[in-house]
Structure 1
Amino acid sequence: MEFSSSMAMKMGSCVVVLGLITWVLYVYGNIWYKSKRVRRKLIAQGIKGPQPSFLCGNIADMQRIQAQVNNFIEAPNNGRRCNNNVNHHQFLAHDYTATLFPYFEHWRKKYGQVYTYSTGMKQHLYVNNPELVTEMNQSITLDLGKPTYITNKLAPLLGNGILRANGHSWANQRKLVAAEFFMDKVKGMVGLMIESAQPLLRKWEELISGTGTGLAEVKVDADLRDFSADVISRVCFGHSYFKGKDLFSKLRKLQKTMSDQGGFLFGLNGFRGKLFLSSKKQKQISSLEKEIESLIWSLVDERKRECSSWEKDLMQLLLEAAMADKSLGKEFSRRFIVDNCKNIYFAGHETTAIAASWSLMLLALHPQWQEKIRTEVAEVCPHGIPHADSLPLLKTVNMVIHEVLRLYPPAAFVSREAYEDIQIGDINVPKGVCLWTLIPTLHRDPENWGQDSNEFKPERFKEGVSQACKFPQAYVPFGLGPRLCLGRNFAMVQLKVVLALIISKFSFSLSPSYSHSPAYRMIVEPGHGVYIIIKKL
């Protein structure tokens, strides 16, 4: 019996060791080898990049470069965190991508506008060449979609809605959603946008009255977020923000919880479990996801009971469109309404509020552009209140918004994954490669925009985007190709409305409390908020 027991233990140990060896061979043979083969295909085309290590790829390099930059930022008197005491041209020219994504800038300077790198077993292609981005913009293939490893991480926030879906699922959803954001539909929402802005305007007027000085300091981020949330609530459900306040609060909390997991995009926390969320965080995310879905359905059901057949809002129209398409099935229709409600709330609320915040920051630094907008609004908008027909006449507002989105686009990246081998320009992109375009770097490329590319000059858009730069299709604040943001008309109109209303009532300058520190939290936002000093006209 002793001999038999000893033999069994030895055999068991052998099985474990053999299993471990088999796993290692599998990883190397079926994953690592494939990654190396893909990298070799790219290298053979003259594309260079940092040498990856086994299993980790270039993650250790990314960690090291990021740590060096963080140490430099945190060092006293280093001059990187700019405030109002620093000449504004200095921090406008501040290349915040070198702070937020320093590894990309490090490699771009070393390898050029196109290079390859890897995270773990995943091979990436950095593409910031304007001509290649133009090629990507013209591509209509469904074989170029959102990277699956990123969309999997975003599932709690976006479900399988249009921002996350790929292939035919995305195409079906786009067919249903796109029509509701055509300009003729968006123009009908202008009245709701103006109503939503009134609490913000009254709040600022009351703050000024309360100081007794004719001036007040305002942190605009939260107020603009409330305004944008109110617009989305009215458009989607026909009610004000306050009725859906709990939903927005939970969506914001979910976004912060997910983005607080450092290295969200590339897993820069390393291995040994750090690549994955802690069980506590995972439970928190799962709980928030369920609460959000429950709140959405509660609001949908409430709206169904309240609404007559002739006063339909966006969510009702989308739901009816999904239900009418019998090929989609009942379960798809249910998931469609929940997931796209989350998508519209996140994309339509968060990004627009951040773009408005950056707009006020830049206009605070350039009062001459406030005056130009004020004069224009007075000429084309009765009593300073825009309407659907006057919006196309706000040329100056349009130029300013385009320039803000060029310098501070809320979306940091255009990311795509090749689901099959595809051709982009003269590059053959192998199946499985993820392509990354860093939008702020692309938008500040002096070869495309000129030597003043870091300066705030809205007049560059005087003749439209087509005349503003050498490669206009490399201006991509709303993404590119067939996956161009469906809500771009909605966002542009909302920004025009709120800026016209604010500037017709107030003049403002940047507060000494403002600290210029762009931060990446799924979108690029002011890290410490935007503080301005306002004066009622």
Structure 2
Amino acid sequence: MGVELSLMGKMILSVVVGGLVGLFLYLYNVMLLKPKILRSKLTKQGIRGPSPSFLLGNIPEMKKIQLQVISEQQNKAALSLAHNWPSTVFPFFEKWTNGYGPMFLYSTGNMQMIYVADVEMVKELSLCTSLSLGKPSYLTKERGPILGHGLISSSGLLWAHQRKIIAPEFYLDKVKGMVNLMVDSTTSLIGVWERIIESEGGTAEIRVDMDMRSLAADIISRACFGSNYSEGQEIFSGLRSLQKVMSKGMVGVPGLRYLPTKSNREIWKLEKEINSMILRVVKQRLEASSEKDLLQMILQVAKSNNDESGLTSQISQDKFVVDNCKSIYFAGHETSAITASWVLLLLAAHPEWQDRARSELLKICKNGLPDADMLPSLKVLTMVIQETLRLYPPVGFIPREALQDIKFKDIVIPKGMGIHIPVAMLQQNPDLWGPDAHQFKPERFANGISAACKTPQAYLPFGMGPRICAGQHFAIAELRVILSLILSKFCFSLSPKYSHSPVYNLVVEPKYGVSLYVRKV
């Protein structure tokens, strides 16, 4: 008996020791060996970068550089509309570009990245149609609670299948049919503003960014899900809270998202609540109507068990529905709302362009109500929107990952290497846009995007290549409708309370909102 217990004890000990050795080898591979091998494959090809620290990568250095810049900026005038915000929001990238050139290596945690601001390399990446180039895995892991495995974050066949379903719903002919809906939603907001202005004696101070969020949420809800903002208000509020919490977290630190920290517990709670709310809204929508819309199509595909993508083996039906609804809710209203807010801010700061856009609008839309056929004729407003998207692109970076070894511009990017294309920096590069790259000059787009820049591929507000934003036609139409209706009814100027401080909270947004003085025309 004693011999048996001794043998059992030795077996248990050997299993424990074996498990610990296996864990040690796994952690060694994940934290040290694999990152080192990935970096070495590119350093041998001449790509360098700052040396990473153990576990955290370059995060400590990034924070140190950021703090230095914040300290230097404290004494500057807050109202100054300096558009060269990338140098203060991402100062580490500017420093490393100066030291290593337009392509360099860096890491967040054990996640290895190649930063690509070389425009010829960006060209090649934009032309790539291979499924070997996809979205980085951290989008479905670290950013999973807000993006899941939906169209924005998925890769390979799963992405291709979702794109096939969702993209046609945002084709130009479909978008034209949504213009009247956009007009109705915006007209409701205008009525609210008119009542506020009247009660304030002719001029009111309005936080336009908050109203733009509500308006964009109402439009995307009605256009794609047959509901309105009031029905989805809790979902949008939850997504906004989740966005704020997640923007403060560190991406790429192994195991960090599993720890029960205060922020992680809040993320888990919000994710659970949002998922439940979406499924509840979906159920109510199904019971209320059988109208064919985007939600119905998503549900129809989720129920199919024999699609060619192998979807059911990768993601459950409920998760497929929830993740795609979250992607559309988040991307479909947050980016449009932020862009509309930036446009109103820039027009308030540049009244000559506000007057030009209004004058053109009143000639084309004599009753002040645009229709789908009038929108393309609003040339001045379109130039203003394009310049705003150049200076303040909603998405600061285009992230990619090499899902297999893949070659661009004689450089082999190894499997597992992340790729970060800095939209904001490319769109304000003086070598590409001229010495006035940091200035608000809509006239640069007078002859279209191709004539605005030495290399048109450096203009990337909607992404690039086959993964270009599926909703770009919807977004541009929505912005034209919202802004044309506001311009036809109101004049606006900057409030002294406005403090110009762009920040990156998963999207590029004004830290303290946008406060404007608004009065009727």
TM-score in terms of structure 2 length: 0.91
**CA deviations over 1:453-481 (Å, ceiling 9, x no partner):** 11111111111111111110121101112
Q: What is residue 344 of structure 2 aligned with on the other side?
A: 360
> Secondary structure, in 3 states, of the residue corresponding to 1:416?
strand
Q: What is residue 446 of structure 1 aligned with on the other side?
A: 430
Q: What is residue 248 of structure 1 aligned with on the other side?
A: 236
Contact 2:206–2:516 (CA under 8 A) maintained in structure 1: yes
Q: What is residue 304 of structure 1 aligned with on the other side?
A: 286
Q: What is residue 53 of structure 2 aligned with on the other side?
A: 53
In structure 2, C-alpha distance between the alignment counterparts of 1:511 and 1:387, rounded to whole Å: 32
Q: Would the alpha carbon gap of residues 65 and 13 (structure 1) be closer, same or farther in structure 2, given more than 3 Å must change?
A: farther
1:96 and 2:76 correspond: no
Match of 2:150 among 131, 136, 161: 161
Q: Would the alpha carbon gap of residues 238 and 112 (structure 1) be closer, same or farther in structure 2, given more than 3 Å must change?
A: same
1:191 and 2:175 correspond: no
In structure 2, C-alpha distance between the alignment counterparts of 1:207 and 1:136, rounded to whole Å: 49
Q: Would the alpha carbon gap of residues 463 and 71 (structure 1) be closer, same or farther in structure 2, given more than 3 Å must change?
A: same
> Secondary structure, in 3 states, of the residue corresponding to 1:221?
helix
- Structure 1: state its 5+ residue gaps: none
Q: What is residue 238 of structure 1 aligned with on the other side?
A: 226
Q: How far off is 1:12 after superposition?
A: 10
- Structure 1 letter corresponding to 2:69: V
Match of 1:138 among 107, 110, 127: 127
Q: How far off is 1:45 after superposition?
A: 1.7
1:475 and 2:475 correspond: no
Q: How far off is 1:25 after superposition?
A: 5.4
**CA deviations over 1:311-368 (Å, ceiling 9, x no partner):** 4332123333555673267775543322211110000011110000011111111111
Q: Would the alpha carbon gap of residues 504 and 266 (structure 1) be closer, same or farther in structure 2, given more than 3 Å must change?
A: farther
Q: Would the alpha carbon gap of residues 250 and 275 (structure 1) be closer, same or farther in structure 2, given more than 3 Å must change?
A: closer
1:389 and 2:373 correspond: yes
1:514 and 2:491 correspond: no
> Secondary structure, in 3 states, of the residue corresponding to 1:250?
helix
In structure 2, C-alpha distance between the alignment counterparts of 1:494 and 1:462, rounded to whole Å: 21
Contact 2:30–2:110 (CA under 8 A) maintained in structure 1: no
Contact 1:356–1:499 (CA under 8 A) maintained in structure 2: yes
Q: Would the alpha carbon gap of residues 237 and 22 (structure 1) be closer, same or farther in structure 2, given more than 3 Å must change?
A: closer
Contact 1:124–1:436 (CA under 8 A) maintained in structure 2: yes
Q: Would the alpha carbon gap of residues 14 and 234 (structure 1) be closer, same or farther in structure 2, given more than 3 Å must change?
A: closer
Q: How far off is 1:97 after superposition?
A: 1.9
Q: What is residue 136 of structure 2 aligned with on the other side?
A: 147
> Secondary structure, in 3 states, of the residue corresponding to 2:367?
helix
- Structure 2 letter corresponding to 1:62: M
Q: Would the alpha carbon gap of residues 333 and 120 (structure 1) be closer, same or farther in structure 2, given more than 3 Å must change?
A: closer
Q: What is residue 64 of structure 1 aligned with on the other side?
A: 64
Q: What is residue 473 of structure 2 aligned with on the other side?
A: 489
Q: What is residue 293 of structure 1 aligned with on the other side?
A: 275
In structure 2, C-alpha distance between the alignment counterparts of 1:290 and 1:51, rounded to whole Å: 38
Contact 1:108–1:115 (CA under 8 A) maintained in structure 2: yes
CA RMSD across the alignment: 2.9
- Structure 1 letter corresponding to 2:364: V
Contact 2:166–2:294 (CA under 8 A) maintained in structure 1: no
In structure 2, C-alpha distance between the alignment counterparts of 1:469 and 1:304, rounded to whole Å: 48
In structure 2, C-alpha distance between the alignment counterparts of 1:467 and 1:523, rounded to whole Å: 27
Stretch deviating more after TM superposition (500-509 or 198-207): 198-207
Contact 2:345–2:494 (CA under 8 A) maintained in structure 1: yes
Q: What is residue 216 of structure 1 aligned with on the other side?
A: 204
> Secondary structure, in 3 states, of the residue corresponding to 2:332?
helix
Over the matched positions of the two proteins, sequence identity in percent amounts to 48
> Secondary structure, in 3 states, of the residue corresponding to 1:508?
strand
Contact 1:358–1:408 (CA under 8 A) maintained in structure 2: yes
Q: How far off is 1:15 after superposition?
A: 9.7
In structure 2, C-alpha distance between the alignment counterparts of 1:300 and 1:38, rounded to whole Å: 43
In structure 2, C-alpha distance between the alignment counterparts of 1:204 and 1:302, rounded to whole Å: 32
1:43 and 2:43 correspond: yes
Stretch deviating more after TM superposition (353-362 or 154-163): 154-163
**CA deviations over 1:217-271 (Å, ceiling 9, x no partner):** 111011001100110111122222112212211221222222233x3x455xxx9
Q: How far off is 1:151 after superposition?
A: 2.5
In structure 2, C-alpha distance between the alignment counterparts of 1:25 and 1:318, rounded to whole Å: 42
In structure 2, C-alpha distance between the alignment counterparts of 1:152 and 1:172, rounded to whole Å: 20
Q: Would the alpha carbon gap of residues 97 and 394 (structure 1) be closer, same or farther in structure 2, given more than 3 Å must change?
A: same
1:458 and 2:442 correspond: yes
1:82 and 2:82 correspond: no
1:315 and 2:308 correspond: no
In structure 2, C-alpha distance between the alignment counterparts of 1:388 and 1:324, rounded to whole Å: 35
- Structure 1 letter corresponding to 2:424: P
- Structure 2: state its 5+ residue gaps: none
Stretch deviating more after TM superposition (342-351 or 26-35): 26-35
Q: How far off is 1:377 after superposition?
A: 1.3
Stretch deviating more after TM superposition (279-288 or 382-391): 279-288
Q: How far off is 1:414 after superposition?
A: 0.5
Contact 1:134–1:471 (CA under 8 A) maintained in structure 2: no
In structure 2, C-alpha distance between the alignment counterparts of 1:520 and 1:154, rounded to whole Å: 15
